[in-house]
Chains A and B, each alone.
Chain A
Amino acid sequence: MDRSPLSFPMVAAAAGTSPHPGVQVVLDGNPGELELEFLSENLTLRGGLGTTGDGVLSNEATRLWMHAIGTGPVTRASDGRGEVATGNLMGYIALGRAFEDEGARGTCSARDHTFTLRTR
């Protein structure tokens, strides 16, 4: 399975305060294709990262299918906004080219995937 990073244009916003404050991070333009729903407390994000059965096409033209739990510390970016420089991702990831089947370029369930949320 190719381990090159995949990137996606995302949009983030605060989402709810009770029972815990949250942050919603969604794919810019197609929010239901790639959706991250995080609990946001103590400068840490934790929550689910998911795609539908169609997966989501990355900037690198690789399609990603994902059902995983992400956790990461929030740090301050140079412009003052929050970002996650290194997050842990536990769960299912499958890759394919744009029109290939889920997993055609590999499937990996693991507890040590990583993710990054950077400002743009």
Chain B
Amino acid sequence: MRRAALTAAARWTGAATLLLASSGSMAHARGESGDLHLRTSEAFGPCLAAALQAFSRESGLSVVVDVGDLDPVRGADVLIGDDSELTRLLEGGIAELETSFDLGSLPWVLVVPAGSPAGALSALAPERVAVMGGRASRAARESLQGMPAERMRVSRDADELRRAPYALVPRSLAGPGEQRPSAVRPLMAVTAVVAGAPHPAGARTLLAFLRSERARRLLASCLDPPATGAAPPRASSPSGAAASYAQSVVDWWLPQCSLTHNGYNDPRQVLGGPDAVKLADKDDYRGIMSLGQGGYVIVDMGQTVVDGKGADIRVYQVTGTEPVTLYAASSPQGPFTLVALREDCGNRVTGFGNFERSCDFDLRDAALTEARYLKVEDGEIYPCLAGGTITEGADIDAIEILNITKP
């Protein structure tokens, strides 16, 4: 673990307006003893310095930045990490979902020596390719899975990654070589206050600052603005027909372990439109079915979904990016054809903050022209006995047909 202390002397004169505007919480925050601790992962550490220095100058609060795995939180007040790193912390109530928001996205880049010819990294690199390690880099490593392992160097050392002449890294860790765009899904920086944080008022003051336009401008040199989310749930389809959500449950299964430990096992909760609610208490939800370790639910959509333009099916899932596997069939007994395996289900849904997420599926990917019965299976596949939450597995809210009529 590397620690970097960011401390700035208070400049009360320059911060007078801010202090007046939030004098209550700021005074409270200053009354808390000790430094604020912010825990972040390797990719985002370099992005935060300017914003945190400005925060310290303006608030008089010192922030210590700890870089490493977010879980366990190790006494942190505030977390900043990729969506995938925060999923289990948010859904388990270790970090406060209601405080979380997106700071911005961070693209992956291919780094090669300047003037290198065009081509795949695996073909270009005469030596080992450095790839960032950790939970957030799974997709990046998967993108290089055709490359022999001995030609890859997985590292979480920012300096080593920056020195590498050939690398696949988040843009914040790119060295001096030429940067080329990568198709790997960008990281999404999400922040949240840790539940029971040692400095709760200071943590909230920091998050309020990070939401401000001033902080956004300071982060913009490193993070791209958060992408617009998927369209909000609809009352009608593009064809004008009533929006179609899952109508009835055909079959379902949860492992006995998940049935015992999870709190949301009712398959009927996936029927109808998105209606999931997060209540005040930790782990307290309404309107979801948690799929546990590899569980599934099969639904009758009530009408036929067809392969049309773009995505045909949308699954709504709450709290994080837990992956979902989707199969489709024309008969309730199957055979079910795999449409997509372990698809990250973390697209933002406009109007639902950081709570409601979605993922889209295209029947064309399975060479299907139509289907009526859909099997939604957990893709997180985290050991039930090690889980520790009552929402293990993908937490399904609703399943929607996007293409009902043939184009």
Contact = CB atoms under 8 A, between A and B. Distances in A.
B393 to A, nearest CB: 9
B385 A26 contact: yes
B124 interface: no
A101 B154 contact: yes
Interface residues of A, number: 45
A107 B154 CA distance: 11
Interface string A26-68: 1000011111011100000001111111000000000000111
Interface in B108-146: 131, 133-135, 137-138, 141-142, 144-145
A111 B377 CA distance: 15
Determine which residue in B134, B141, B378 has the highest number of CB atoms from chain A within 10 A of its CB, and name it: B141
Contacts of A67: 323, 342, 379-382
Given A15-B256, A32-B386, A37-B258, A107 B142 contact: yes
Interface residues of B, number: 46
B386 A37 contact: no
B383 A34 contact: yes
Contacts of A69: 294, 325, 377, 381
Contacts of A116: none
Interface in B45-69: 69
Given A47-B255, A47-B294, A50-B293, A33 B383 contact: yes
A101 B134 contact: yes
A48 B256 contact: no
Interface in A85-113: 90-92, 94-96, 100-109, 111
B255 A105 contact: no
B133 A16 contact: no
B133 A35 contact: no
Contacts of B69: 53
Contacts of B133: 101-104
B343 to A, nearest CB: 11
Interface string B250-281: 01111111110000000000000000000000
A100 B383 CA distance: 21
B242 interface: no
Contacts of B378: 48
Interface string A1-31: 1100000000000011001101010100001
B71 interface: yes
29 contacts: A1-B145, A16-B259, A22-B256, A24-B255, A24-B257, A31-B383, A31-B385, A34-B383, A37-B255, A37-B258, A37-B293, A37-B294, A47-B255, A47-B293, A49-B381, A50-B382, A52-B383, A67-B382, A68-B381, A92-B138, A94-B141, A101-B155, A103-B138, A103-B154, A104-B133, A104-B154, A107-B144, A107-B145, A111-B338
Interface of A: 1-2, 15-16, 19-20, 22, 24, 26, 31-35, 37-39, 47-53, 66-69, 90-92, 94-96, 100-109, 111
Given A35-B386, A108-B142, 9 more contacts: A19-B253, A24-B255, A33-B383, A37-B292, A37-B294, A67-B382, A94-B138, A101-B154, A111-B341
The 4 nearest A-B residue pairs measured at CB: A48-B294, A16-B256, A32-B386, A37-B255
